[in-house]
Amino acid sequence: MSEPMSLLGEAEKLDAADRLAAVRERFVLDDVTYLDGNSLGALPAHVPARVEDVVRRQWGELRIRSWEESGWWTAPERIGDRIAPLVGAAAGQVVVGDSTSVNVFKALVAAVRMAQEDGGTGGTGGTSGAGPVRDEILVDATTFPTDGYIAESAARMTGCALRPVTPAEVPGALGDRTAAVLLNHVDYRTGRLHDLPALTAAVHAAGAYVVWDLCHSAGALPVGLDEHGVDLAVGCTYKYLNGGPGSPAYLYVRRDLQPRFDSPLPGWNSHAEPFGMRPAYAPASGAVRGRVGTPDILSLLALEAALDVWDEEGVSVAAVRAKSLALTDFFLRCVGAYVPDGRVESVTPAAHAERGSQVALRCDDAGEVMKRLIERGVVGDYRAPDVLRFGFTPLYVGFADVERAARVLARTLAG
SS3 389: strand
Q: Choosing from 213, 231, 296, 386, which is the catalytic residue?
A: 213
Q: Can 396 be counted among the known catalytic residues?
A: no
Which member of 239, 291, 355, 404 is catalytic? 239
Half-sphere exposure of 290 (CA within 13 A, CB side): 34
Cα distances (angstroms) measured from residue 172 to each of 51, 138, 169, 362:
49, 11, 6, 29
- What amino acid is encoded at 336 in this protein? G
Whether 105 is a known active-site residue: answer: no
Catalytic site residue from 134, 192, 355, 389: 389
Judge whether 144 counts as a catalytic residue. yes
Q: How far apart are CA 14 and CA 330, in angstroms?
A: 10
Burial of 299: CB neighbours in 10 Å, binned 0-12, 13-18, 19+: buried
Question: Using CA atoms, how far apart are residues 154 and 162, in angstroms rounded to an integer?
Answer: 9
Which residue in 234, 262, 258 sits closest to 248, CA to CA?
234
- Which helix (H) or strand (E) segment holds residue 401: the answer is helix 399-413
What would the DSSP string read from start to end of 271-292?
A: BSSTTT--SS--BPSGGGGG--
Which residues are catalytically annotated? 144, 213, 238-239, 389
